[in-house]
């Protein structure tokens, strides 16, 4: 499952290949994704329109067009995007192809088809935060994501801090690995009820979350540098994890063997001594 840093890197990789290109044609094999693909509406909104920018919101890739419409792509579990010369043969599980006026083709590949492709008209794009992204919390790099915001939201709540930061209504894009790593670096016990965190702890957590995600994006930047004809291989970036997957190994700070438990069914790694 691609996480926020990977989606961010994909957006960075796509920008030089897609921005300023005009979409001249769209092909679709009619296989359903997680939601039905409204290919007629997609054609009507974006054929012969030019791509002006590419943005990320939560784990969605937003491709903005010069008429104000937005193509919204979610990669689900196994979705992948690539840009190829138009004449290169399609790969198995290539479901949608957008032909560009420079002769390249932008392709969506998805083995398990849990991804989704939506189109928002110009009017729908304008209200996207109140409709399409209504249940999405703030961005971790956004100005809204602060210690005060979390402190207020956590008042009287008993949910564990790990579940809380992984809840996309609280903040988007913090998956299991990044939650584990951030809590370790902030020195916070993952199963601590959120009502018991102090303001300095929230401040430390907000800072580490930003740092951990930014580091992952930097690590990934080199992984997907050659996006054109990129292989369909994917995986987590070669980031150095301090605790994730390291149960029983010595804590990088105090050498105590790291512990493992489950919180809300998700593997949780922590140091009993360093995290409080």
- Comparison of 221 and 252: residue with beta carbon closer to Zn ion: 252
Q: Token digits for 69?
A: 């419409």
The only residue of 10, 81, 194, 274 in contact with Zn ion, by rule CB under 5 A: 274
DSSP string, 243-262: STT-TTSBPTTT-PBPEEEE
Q: Is 192 a catalytic residue?
A: no
Minimum CB separation of residue 83 from Zn ion in Å reads 45
Instruction: With contacts defined by CB under 5 A, name the span among 22-30, 188-196, 248-256, 259-267 that binds Zn ion.
Output: 248-256
Q: Does 243 bind Zn ion (CB under 5 A)?
A: no
Q: Does 253 bind Zn ion (CB under 5 A)?
A: yes
Decide: 7 and 181 in contact? Cβ < 8 Å.
no
Number of residues in contact with Zn ion under rule CB under 5 A: 7
Q: Is 87 a catalytic residue?
A: no
Instruction: With contacts defined by CB under 5 A, name the span among 35-43, 195-203, 211-219, 268-276 that binds Zn ion.
Output: 268-276
Q: Is 3 a catalytic residue?
A: yes
Minimum CB separation of residue 179 from Zn ion in Å reads 18
Q: Does 69 bind Zn ion (CB under 5 A)?
A: no
- Name the residue number minimizing CB distance to Zn ion: 251
Q: Does 254 bind Zn ion (CB under 5 A)?
A: yes
Instruction: With contacts defined by CB under 5 A, name the span among 67-75, 107-115, 146-154, 264-272 that binds Zn ion.
Output: 264-272
Q: Token digits for 78?
A: 């196994």
Q: Does 186 bind Zn ion (CB under 5 A)?
A: no
10 Å Cβ neighbour count for 34?
16
Alpha helices in the chain (DSSP H): 4-18, 39-46, 122-126, 147-154, 161-166, 176-186, 199-223
* Residue from 56, 57, 59, 242 carrying the catalytic annotation: 59
- Comparison of 99 and 189: residue with beta carbon closer to Zn ion: 189
53 CB-near residues (< 8 Å, 6+ apart): 15, 19, 64
* Residue from 43, 50, 266, 273 carrying the catalytic annotation: 266
Q: Does 251 bind Zn ion (CB under 5 A)?
A: yes
Pairing status of strand 94-100 against strand 259-263: unpaired
Q: Does 75 bind Zn ion (CB under 5 A)?
A: no
141 CB-near residues (< 8 Å, 6+ apart): 210, 213, 214
What angle do helix axes 176-186 and 199-223 make, rounded to 10 degrees?
Answer: 130
Minimum CB separation of residue 246 from Zn ion in Å reads 11
- Comparison of 99 and 201: residue with beta carbon closer to Zn ion: 201
Decide: 63 and 51 in contact? Cβ < 8 Å.
yes
Minimum CB separation of residue 182 from Zn ion in Å reads 15
C-alpha count within 13 angstroms, C-beta hemisphere, residue 37: 24
184 CB-near residues (< 8 Å, 6+ apart): 242, 243, 269, 270, 271, 274, 275
Q: Is 276 a catalytic residue?
A: no
Please identify every residue annotated as catalytic. 2-3, 59, 266
Residues contributing to the site for Zn ion (CB under 5 A)? 251, 253-254, 256, 271, 273-274
């Amino acid at each position: 499952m691609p996480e926020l840093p990977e989606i961010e890197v994909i957006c960075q990789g796509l920008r030089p290949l897609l921005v300023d290109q005009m979409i001249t044609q769209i092909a679709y094999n009619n296989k359903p994704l997680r939601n039905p693909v409204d290919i007629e509406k997609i054609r009507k909104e974006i054929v012969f329109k030019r791509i002006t920018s590419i943005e990320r919101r939560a784990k969605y890739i937003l491709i903005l067009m010069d008429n104000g419409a937005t193509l919204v792509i979610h990669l689900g579990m196994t979705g992948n995007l690539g840009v190829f010369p138009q004449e290169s043969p399609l790969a198995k599980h290539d479901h949608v192809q957008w032909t560009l006026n420079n002769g390249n083709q932008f392709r969506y590949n998805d083995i398990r088809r849990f991804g989704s492709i939506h189109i928002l008209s110009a009017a729908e794009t304008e209200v996207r935060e109140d409709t399409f992204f209504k249940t999405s919390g703030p961005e971790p790099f956004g100005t809204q994501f602060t210690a005060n915001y979390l402190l207020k939201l956590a008042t009287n709540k008993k949910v564990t801090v790990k579940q809380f930061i992984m809840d996309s209504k609280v903040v988007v894009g913090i998956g299991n690995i990044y939650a584990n790593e951030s809590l370790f670096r902030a020195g916070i016990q993952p199963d601590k009820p959120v009502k018991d965190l102090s303001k300095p702890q929230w401040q430390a957590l907000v800072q580490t979350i930003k740092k951990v995600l930014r580091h992952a994006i930097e690590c990934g930047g080199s992984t997907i540098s050659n996006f054109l004809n990129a292989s369909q291989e994917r995986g987590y970036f070669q980031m150095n994890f301090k605790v994730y997957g390291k149960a029983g190994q010595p804590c990088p700070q105090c050498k105590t063997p790291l512990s493992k438990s489950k919180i809300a069914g998700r593997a949780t790694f922590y140091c009993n001594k360093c995290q409080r």
